[in-house]
């Protein structure tokens, strides 16, 4: 009688499989594979060879706490072509010397997550034995055409899945600066933290069986992750804060990467303090790329936050030109979100591809603080009734901005601007450190017939949705809805026939005086007597104004066709104590002409500039060989700064974030330090650095570096 087949040991061939499945950056020791692609394992037997006519081998793959075949979280499938109902398959590769190599295949629709693999061996007339072979992780597969995250471009897959560093664009539309960021999605333990994040979601806590079953859908996963990046509804990764006091946490401007944040959340079990939009988006990029969903970080300059769904952002000013706080609608100087690539089988054909996900907690979506996925194509076409939160995202890039003067308790409309919201929508280019402007994928050219047609189409859909109670963002109706939304009237400058512009004279370097002029041109044939009220106030990047710290009044007489400039200067001593972390100053000029009741408002956003940190790599960078890195930094101010801390990191270069306590830096002082490290991954890498002090928080620098495998 044949002896029962006894399993001795299993080889998951992790190193080879992970290389085939593009997961070798995550691990060589633990099996991490992608769905829709076969992987090989080897079974070693103690007593004899596998005999196909005698031995029946059945594999079982299970995920989640309550695996269920009906839900797709438990798969049972046989070896040697005995095809059953399961879409999982096992096929024989080789069998000799008491060794059996098997090719296993998870379908491209399988739920992602951590799996336990088991085997049942039924030998003819022998006993049935069961073995636990071990755990493996299954991820989305953008290389597989059957996967809903399939991306048919290897350069794009390398950028949006495999690249572990990038840039997040900040500043303002007139001065866009790249902020280097270490996504670090393949760093030690990050994959486990990402899976932990799924298991800590409210969806999993309320119904773990259903949650795990739905993890095959990138639409579902993206909404779960989006809600878990912020902590408004749960113990998510980040606490958001938009005030100026970060003493009980980390100022959002200081972060240079996702790894430290995710590891702190994992080790403490509590939300990390603090984040703002670019930090939320960066963390989400890390998690989604780690799970295998192509993801990029997007910045929208002059981003609308329209809470009531009327596609109007109202801004209020007083007689001095000072912008007043509006707790309802705001224009963020810039706002950052994600795009994730996926098919949208839940929408009509044609709306797959890039989808907006915004994890910054702004409005509720189906009761949770998350936003998206919203099809970018649907946004461009004004299809604001399509899931999810398309109307809210449409307003961020398309809302009209109406300026109002508050005078004597009454509102006087200054003008309506149809193209001030949604500018220079930006992301990092593929295979390059350059900025890629993708505004045209979100909207037609400003002022074009198509752009206005789409705006009106979206507005009608929103009105219809409101009448039926379908507006997606959970918000209260606006008391301002009755205001007319017809074509904008003539601007005040057209009526008064005076052209006005604020112009910087020099680069606005931090620590130096800000010099600018108001240029006034009389376009008419009459004398113009102008009174100009100028003011300056700091802004938070979400548009919230701080009190004015500088004001000036000018009287300008212009003969017909004459141009004059009024010079202005704001000294460092005037703005230094009033500057927000965002380094934004809004200069406004409210102009009235003696013979006309109309008033003209012009303003300019100024972002103060720091000198960049300089990073020099001293010698060739080779895996497992010592490397010296020189970091040069300076205090740009004409006063002493204290509590200086230099932070340096880089995936594949440093095992953990490096923090160097510098202490005091004298006025205008330039210093350097040399750090030593041993690179442990080859290929294109990036070093990110930040210098903070008691006077500034985010002097940044970066250096791209290629690490060779051998000398």
pLDDT in tens, 11-32: 999 999 999 999 999 999 999 9
Q: Is residue 271 over pLDDT 80?
A: yes
Q: Is residue 408 over pLDDT 90?
A: no
Q: pLDDT (tens digit, 9 = 90+) per residue, 40-95?
A: 999 999 989 998 888 999 999 999 999 999 999 999 999 965 556 889 999 999 99
What is the distance between the alpha carbons of residues 150 and 141, in angstroms, rounded to a whole number? 7
Q: Is residue 379 over pLDDT 70?
A: yes
Residue 695's pLDDT band, with cuts at 50, 70 and 90, is: very high
pLDDT at 147: 98
pLDDT at 125: 65
Among the residue ranges 276-280, 393-397, 534-538, 595-599, the one predicted with the least confidence is 595-599
Residues sharing a CB contact under 8 Å with residue 304, sequence separation 6 or more, in sequence order = 313, 329, 331, 332, 395, 396, 397, 398, 399, 401, 421, 422
Who has greater pLDDT, 118 or 542?
118
* Angle at 427 (CA atoms; ends 426, 429), nearest 5 degrees: 125
pLDDT at 126: 67
What is the distance between the alpha carbons of residues 190 and 23, in angstroms, rounded to a whole number? 13
Q: pLDDT (tens digit, 9 = 90+) per residue, 478-527?
A: 333 333 333 444 455 567 789 999 999 999 999 999 999 999 999 999 99
Query: Quick one: which of 599, 551, 141, 70 has its CA closest to 342?
Result: 141
Q: pLDDT (tens digit, 9 = 90+) per residue, 574-609?
A: 999 999 888 999 999 999 988 888 889 999 999 999
Percentage of residues of the chain with pLDDT beyond 70 = 95
Among the residue ranges 286-290, 590-594, 627-631, 643-647, the one predicted with the least confidence is 590-594
pLDDT at 465: 78
Mean pLDDT of 276-300: 98
Residue identified by tokens 């991820």 is: 139
pLDDT at 470: 47
pLDDT at 476: 37
What is the distance between the alpha carbons of residues 697 and 252, in angstroms, rounded to a whole number? 9
Among the residue ranges 308-312, 544-548, 575-579, the one predicted with the least confidence is 308-312
Among the residue ranges 39-48, 119-128, 233-242, 513-522, the one predicted with the least confidence is 119-128
Who has greater pLDDT, 470 or 593?
593
Residue 474's pLDDT band, with cuts at 50, 70 and 90, is: very low
pLDDT at 82: 54
**Size (the chain), residues:** 711
Residue 123's pLDDT band, with cuts at 50, 70 and 90, is: confident
85: burial class by Cβ within 10 Å (0-12, 13-18, 19+)?
Answer: exposed
pLDDT at 488: 45
Q: How far does the chain reach from its first CA to its final CA, in angstroms?
A: 60
pLDDT at 3: 77
pLDDT at 493: 57
SS3 string of 445-478?
CCCCHHHHHHHHHHHHHHHHHHHCCCCCECCCCC
Local structure of residue 158 (DSSP, 8 states): I
| Token output for 325 | 């706080």
| Token output for 518 | 């108001």
Answer for the pair 171, 583: CB distance below 8 angstroms, yes or no. no
Q: Is residue 534 over pLDDT 50?
A: yes
Q: pLDDT (tens digit, 9 = 90+) per residue, 636-692?
A: 999 999 999 999 999 999 999 999 999 999 999 999 999 999 999 999 999 999 999
* Tally of CB atoms within 10 A around 575: 22
Answer for the pair 169, 299: CB distance below 8 angstroms, yes or no. yes
What's the mean pLDDT when you consider all of the chain?
Answer: 92
Local structure of residue 610 (DSSP, 8 states): P
Q: Annotated active-site positions, please?
A: 277, 335, 358
pLDDT at 124: 74
| Token output for 134 | 């071990």
pLDDT at 233: 85
Q: pLDDT (tens digit, 9 = 90+) per residue, 198-214?
A: 999 999 999 999 999 99
Query: Quick one: which of 651, 521, 504 has its CA closest to 163?
Result: 651
Q: Is residue 446 over pLDDT 70?
A: yes
Residue 328's pLDDT band, with cuts at 50, 70 and 90, is: confident
479-514 in b/e form (b: 16+ CB < 10 A) is: eeeeeebeeeeeebbeebbbebebeeeeebebbbeb
Q: pLDDT (tens digit, 9 = 90+) per residue, 129-185?
A: 999 999 999 999 999 999 999 999 999 999 999 999 999 999 999 999 999 999 999
Q: pLDDT (tens digit, 9 = 90+) per residue, 329-346?
A: 889 999 999 999 999 999
Percentage of residues of the chain with pLDDT beyond 90 = 81
pLDDT at 492: 57
pLDDT at 333: 92
Q: Is residue 292 over pLDDT 90?
A: yes
């Amino acid at each position: 009688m044949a002896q029962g087949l006894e399993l001795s040991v299993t080889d998951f061939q992790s190193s080879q499989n992970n290389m085939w499945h593009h997961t070798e950056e995550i691990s060589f020791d633990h099996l991490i594979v992608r769905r829709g692609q076969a992987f090989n394992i080897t079974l070693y037997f103690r007593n004899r060879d596998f005999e196909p006519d005698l031995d029946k081998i059945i594999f079982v793959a299970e995920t989640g706490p309550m695996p269920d075949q009906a839900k797709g979280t438990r798969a049972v499938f046989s070896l040697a072509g005995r095809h059953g109902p399961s879409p999982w398959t096992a096929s024989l590769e080789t069998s000799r010397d008491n060794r059996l190599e098997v090719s296993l295949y998870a379908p491209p629709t399988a739920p992602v997550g951590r799996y336990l693999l088991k085997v049942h061996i039924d030998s003819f007339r022998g006993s049935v034995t069961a073995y636990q072979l071990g755990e493996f992780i299954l991820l989305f597969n953008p290389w597989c055409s059957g996967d809903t995250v399939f991306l048919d471009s290897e350069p794009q897959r390398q950028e949006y899945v495999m690249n572990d560093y990038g840039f997040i664009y900040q500043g303002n539309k007139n001065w866009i600066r790249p902020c280097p960021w270490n996504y670090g999605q393949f760093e030690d333990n990050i994959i486990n933290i990402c899976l932990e994040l799924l298991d800590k979601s409210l969806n999993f806590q309320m119904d773990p069986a259903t949650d795990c079953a739905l993890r095959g859908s990138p639409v579902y996963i993206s909404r779960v992750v989006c809600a878990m990046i912020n902590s408004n509804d749960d113990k998510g990764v980040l606490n958001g804060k938009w005030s100026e006091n970060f003493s009980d946490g980390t100022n959002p401007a200081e972060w240079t990467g996702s790894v430290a944040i995710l590891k702190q959340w994992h080790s403490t079990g509590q939300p990390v303090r603090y984040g703002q939009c670019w930090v939320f988006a960066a963390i989400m990029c890390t998690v989604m790329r780690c799970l295998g969903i192509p993801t990029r970080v997007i910045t929208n300059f002059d981003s609308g936050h329209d809470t009531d769904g009327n596609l109007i952002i109202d801004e209020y000013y007083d007689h001095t030109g000072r912008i007043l706080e509006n707790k309802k609608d705001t224009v963020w100087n810039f706002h950052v979100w994600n795009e994730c690539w996926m098919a949208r089988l839940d929408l009509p054909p044609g709306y797959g591809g890039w989808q907006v996900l915004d994890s910054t907690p702004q409005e509720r979506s189906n009761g949770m603080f998350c936003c998206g996925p919203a099809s970018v194509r649907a946004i461009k076409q004004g299809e604001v009734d399509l899931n999810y939160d398309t109307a809210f995202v449409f307003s961020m890039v398309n809302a009209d901005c109406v300026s109002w003067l508050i005078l004597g308790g009454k509102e006087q409309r200054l003008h309506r601007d149809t193209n001030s919201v949604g500018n220079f929508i930006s992301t990092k280019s593929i295979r390059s450190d350059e900025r890629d402007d993708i505004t045209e994928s979100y909207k037609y050219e400003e002022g074009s017939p198509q752009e206005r047609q789409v705006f009106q189409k979206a507005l009608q859909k929103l009105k219809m949705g409101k009448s039926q109670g379908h507006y997606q963002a959970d918000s209260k109706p606006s008391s301002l809805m009755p205001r007319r939304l017809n074509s904008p009237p003539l601007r005040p400058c057209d009526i008064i026939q005076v052209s006005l512009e604020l112009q910087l004279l020099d680069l606005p370097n931090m620590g130096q005086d800000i010099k600018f002029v108001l240029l006034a041109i009389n376009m008419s044939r009459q004398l113009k007597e102008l009174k100009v009220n100028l003011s300056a106030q700091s802004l938070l990047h979400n548009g919230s104004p701080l009190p004015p710290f500088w004001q000036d009044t000018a009287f300008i007489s212009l003969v017909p066709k004459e141009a004059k400039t009024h010079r202005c200067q704001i000294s460092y001593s005037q703005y230094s104590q009033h500057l927000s972390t965002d380094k934004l100053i809004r200069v406004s000029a409210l102009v009235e002409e003696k013979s006309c009741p109309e008033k003209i408002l012009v303003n300019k956003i100024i972002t103060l500039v720091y000198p960049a940190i300089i990073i020099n790599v001293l010698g060739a960078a080779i895996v497992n060989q010592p490397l010296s890195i020189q970091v040069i930094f300076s205090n740009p101010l004409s006063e002493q700064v204290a509590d200086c801390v230099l932070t340096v990191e880089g995936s594949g270069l440093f095992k953990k974030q490096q923090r160097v306590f510098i202490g005091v830096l004298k006025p205008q002082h330039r210093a350097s330090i040399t750090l030593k490290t041993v690179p442990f991954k080859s290929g294109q890498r990036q070093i990110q650095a930040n210098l903070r002090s008691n006077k500034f928080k985010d002097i940044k620098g970066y250096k791209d570096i290629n690490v060779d495998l051998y000398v």
